[in-house]
A and B are shown apart, each in its own frame.
Chain A
Amino acid sequence: EAGVVQSPRYKIIEKKQPVAFWCNPISGHNTLYWYRQNLGQGPELLIRYENEEAVDDSQLPKDRFSAERLKGVDSTLKIQPAELGDSAVYLCASSLTSGAYYNEQFFGPGTRLTVL
């Protein structure tokens, strides 16, 4: 079974440019997460989707970040315009949805963004 797929793996852009990251979750996983991981730190949740609905986007900087999951499968995270402080690894994760207990989150390899 394929894991969580993310692309691109690496991206280098100039500040003020736009950038987009793509994630394809594990088949059948209704819940999708986007995290940001700064160097030497733990992942920080940006947004969580249940199917196509964003159920937790409280940590998403909405002035420059946007995300979508139109058909409840793959998802795109966009930054426009990018700032120097956005340099980080952007991780996508997915899990089954259950109201009874926690399901394991499976992480993709991440996209390493460098903003110059």
Chain B
Amino acid sequence: QQQVKQSPQSLIVQKGGISIINCAYENTAFDYFPWYQQFPGKGPALLIAIRPDVSEKKEGRFTISFNKSAKQFSLHIMDSQPGDSATYFCAASGNYGQNFVFGPGTRLSVLP
């Protein structure tokens, strides 16, 4: 129940294309869903986050779609660029930082 499932494990997209990464959770106590971006040799960095009171949040080329009833959320990267090539982690947390759980990650490669 504490797991966050993430797919695909790896993703290859052409420059300018749309990258889509999906996550699912079981614990209904989760109420904060961030996405992190990690480059090799660096720590993860927060990209965008959503609370379950909204179904979508957009920041620049990055959009989170949230489906509370299905307990699923996804990251969409529009106009993907080679600089977006990194590993992306979804995460979930409840109760102000308790039970903070990360997905296994998706390695994104954007081809020039």
Contacts and interface: CB of A to CB of B under 8 A. Distances in A.
Interface of A: 4, 31, 33, 40-45, 48, 56, 91, 93, 95, 98-99, 101-110
Contacts of B105: 40-42
Contacts of B96: 98-99, 101-102
Nearest to A91: B43
B18 interface: no
B49 interface: yes
Main secondary structure of the interface of A (DSSP, over half): loop
A44 B102 contact: yes
Given A42-B91, A102-B32, A102-B49, A108 B43 contact: yes
A52 to B, nearest CB: 17
Contacts of A4: 43
Contact of A43 (B32, B46, B102): B102
Interface of B: 4, 6, 32, 34, 41-46, 49, 89, 91, 93, 96-98, 100-105
B46 A109 contact: no
Contacts, number: 53
A42 B32 contact: no
B46 A104 contact: yes
Contact of B93 (A44, A91, A102): A102
Nearest to B42: A109
A49 to B, nearest CB: 11
Given A102-B97, A104-B46, 11 more contacts: A31-B97, A41-B105, A42-B89, A42-B102, A43-B102, A44-B102, A48-B97, A91-B44, A99-B96, A102-B34, A110-B42
Contacts of A109: 41-43
